[in-house]
Amino acid sequence: MLPTLVLASSSPWRREILDKLGLPYRTKHPEIDETALANESAAVLVSRLAEEKARAVGRSFPDALVIGSDQVAVLDDQIIGKPGTHDRATEQLKAASGRSVTFLTGLCLLNTRTGHCQVDTVPYQVHFRPLDDDLIEGYLQHEQPYNCAGSFRSEGSGIVLFERLEGDDPNTLVGLPLIRLVRMLEAEGVRPF
């Protein structure tokens, strides 16, 4: 019998990605403080938060495999958060124009029965084409990606902003590195379908 699979997230995008595996699962929103620690690198931050999310949700599921994930975008060694506003999204896209942004996604699979915890950080590069003001404004009016790190949705119209994408798993860019997750699940005896 399969252990209960729990996604420690309320993200509809992460649920959509996890649905691809054809495994039954539950979701629960993790209640954690996502503030970065002093001098914490982006890679350490996302790994720590992914594990904290899994452990927070895992307390409610004593015999489960809990998936935690967290993501940040990085430009010039600075974390780019969710813009929240049109003006901030405009600033972010202007800064990314003609440049590369690295997305780092922390992934954790916690077996709450055994305490075994697998944690990894998966990178993905987005190379932006040069963006003029009209393209930025038109895109933001169309998509309104104000709750998305980096001010775009690659699974939507954001693709028009890119020169190329570089990484092992396109799901990573949306927030759940599925190729790596499958390996983690298999290490716990769970296979898709």
pTM: 0.92
Report how far Cα 164 is from the mean position of its chain's Cα atoms: 19
The radius of gyration of the chain's CA atoms, rounded to the nearest angstrom, is 17
pLDDT grade for 154, boundaries at 50, 70 and 90 = confident
pLDDT at position 2: 77
Please identify every residue annotated as catalytic. 70
pLDDT digit string, tens, across residues 36-78 = 999 999 999 999 999 999 999 999 999 999 999 999 999 998 9
Rounded to whole angstroms, the Cα distance separating 149 from 137 reads 17
* Number of neighbours of residue 70 by Cβ within 10 angstroms: 25
- Other Cβ atoms less than 10 A from the Cβ of 61: the count is 19
Helices (H), 2-67: 12-19, 42-58
Alpha helices in 20-85 (DSSP H): 42-58
Region of residue 129 (left: phi > 0; alpha: psi -120 to 50; beta: else): beta
pLDDT at 90: 97
Q: Are 45 and 94 in contact (CB under 8 A)?
A: no
pLDDT digits (tens, 9 = 90+) for 84-142: 999 999 999 999 999 999 999 999 999 999 999 999 999 999 999 999 999 999 999 99
Cβ-contact 93, 136 below 8 angstroms: yes
Q: Which domains does the chain have, with CATH numbers?
A: 4-187 (3.90.950.10)
**For 98-161, where are the E strands, in sequence order?**
100-111, 117-128
